Structure 1
Amino acid sequence: MITVFTDSSPNGFKVTIALEELGLPYALEQVNLHAGEHRQSSFLAMNPHGRIPVLRDEQTGVTLFESSAILLYLAEKTGRLLPEALTARWEAIKWLQFHSASMGPILGQRVHFELFAPTRLREAIDRYRSLSEEAFATLDRHLSSRVFLAGDSYSIADIATFGWTHIAVICGFGFEHHRHLTRWHDAVARRPAVGRGVMLPAPATGP
């Protein structure tokens, strides 16, 4: 049995979407971030950095944190959500890494400085607005000539990236002027498994 320890966040939604897409049986354990449950010793034993999500696979004995690592594990376990062709496979991995190294951290900082920081720091807000716009524009250009991030095949790169575009929409960080990115986002959002995944353990809300 797979158990996922998570809360309502973009990083958590990536894993619940993937599990719903794959149809794997799993148990969901909510880790209430607002209550500080991610700082309890039982959770830190699984992820010493105290971040969700964590996946534990009793069948294999594997415990993983970091959403991209979890997505790669699920794709390898099932042989799905990663293209078989070499070039397309590495396209998916490349854009998964773009999400991990660029898009996710940038939007995460924008959410903090723009919506939750106790002091509004104009320089920080402007910086992360600019950086997120650059990330959106990069994705838009890439998607102008392909259906999904790796080409014609929906993959873990799309799931990971959607986790953050979904939160961007909820937070009012619009990207409607990027029509290719918007087309892609809307197409992914219509997938039934995606609709289920972003409701687990509960829908995300704005500030």
Structure 2
Amino acid sequence: MIDLYYWPTPNGHKVTLLLEELADAGAKLEYAIRPVDIGKGDQFEPDFLAISPNNKMPAIVDHAPVDGGAPISVFESGAILLYLANRTGRFFGDDVRRKVEVNQWLMWQMGGLGPMTGQYGHFHVYAPEDIAYAKTRYANEANRLLGVLDRRLSGRAFVAGDDYTIADMAIYPWVNAYDKAPIDMAPYPELRRWHAAIAARPATQRAYALAKQVNPDAGKPMGDEEKKLLFGIDPKR
């Protein structure tokens, strides 16, 4: 059994995408969702910090690791995807060259698309001040990265080739993640094709259905106290 410490955010969706895909691939791992309400400060509770010292979700605890030893906890979404893919032998590749392809695009998301798109969303949706420089800076960088991805997908079904992998699962939730600040996707036909194909997968639909189950208020405006907890700033200042 795996405990998944989860809240419906782009990084949270990555792990449910993989867990649901594993079920469809015949490598199902039983898991239980342990909600971490980041708007109420659950991420700062001592029990959670013992698992995820960076006070971020998602995190997992594998209570039956393959070595038969004590439970293994993993924090950071990319590390979780790698752990689960290696544990099951699915969605990562069977040889060193394939693994390199998958791993470099996973790291591209972790180090580029996620952080830059996150900053885009922060300054376009959540920031207490309208800072034109920041909005332009991160919009430009988000679009640059989407262009990189669009070119990469030309002639490929998925980012690492013909097979769907954890790299795709990591990237998908961060593409146009902010309904209140949508990016024009017209310039990216390959990306739109890829995104639609993943959205249509049954596992994707099940993974995203968990959002409303775990947080019925998902999508509603964020209150001031939530913003203080998440961003460490007073929105009224």
TM range (shorter): over 0.9
Distance 2:170 2:152 in 1: 16
Q: Which residue of 2 aligns with 1:205?
A: 219
**Structure 2 alignment gaps of length 5 or more:** 24-28, 66-70, 222-237
Q: Kindly name which structure, 1 or 2, has the bigger radius of gyration based on alpha carbons.
A: 2
Q: Which residue of 2 aligns with 1:51?
A: 56
Query: Following superposition of structure 1 onto structure 2, how do residues 79-98 of structure 1 map, counting pairs within 5 Å?
Result: 79-98=89-108
Task: State the Cα distance separating 1:84 from its structure 2 match.
Answer: 1.2
Task: State the Cα distance separating 1:7 from its structure 2 match.
Answer: 0.4
Distance 1:20 1:62 in 2: 20
Distance 2:219 2:78 in 1: 23
TM-score normalized by the length of structure 2: 0.83
Task: State the Cα distance separating 1:168 from its structure 2 match.
Answer: 4.4
Residues 68 and 160, structure 1, Cα contact 8 Å, conserved in 2: yes
Query: Following superposition of structure 1 onto structure 2, how do residues 111-150 of structure 1 map, counting pairs within 5 Å?
Result: 111-150=121-160
Q: Which residue of 1 aligns with 2:202?
A: 192
Distance 2:169 2:79 in 1: 13
The number of residues matched between the two structures is 207
Q: Which residue of 1 aligns with 2:175?
A: 165
Letter of the aligned partner of 1:37 in structure 2? D
Distance 1:113 1:206, change over 3 A: farther
Greater relative CO (CA pairs within 8 A, separation 6+)? 1
Q: Deviations over 1:4-35 (max 9, x none)?
A: 00101000000011001112210001111111
TM-score normalized by the length of structure 1: 0.95
1:26 is aligned to 2:31: yes
The 10-residue stretch of structure 1 (80-89 or 184-193) with the greater mean CA deviation from structure 2: 80-89
Aligned partner of residue 134 in structure 1, secondary structure = helix
Residues 125 and 180, structure 2, Cα contact 8 Å, conserved in 1: no
Identical aligned pairs, as a percentage?
A: 38
Distance 1:206 1:92, change over 3 A: farther
Of 65, 78, 81, which residue of structure 2 is paired with 1:71? 81
**Structure 1 alignment gaps of length 5 or more:** none
CA RMSD of aligned residues (A): 1.5
Task: State the Cα distance separating 1:166 from its structure 2 match.
Answer: 5.6
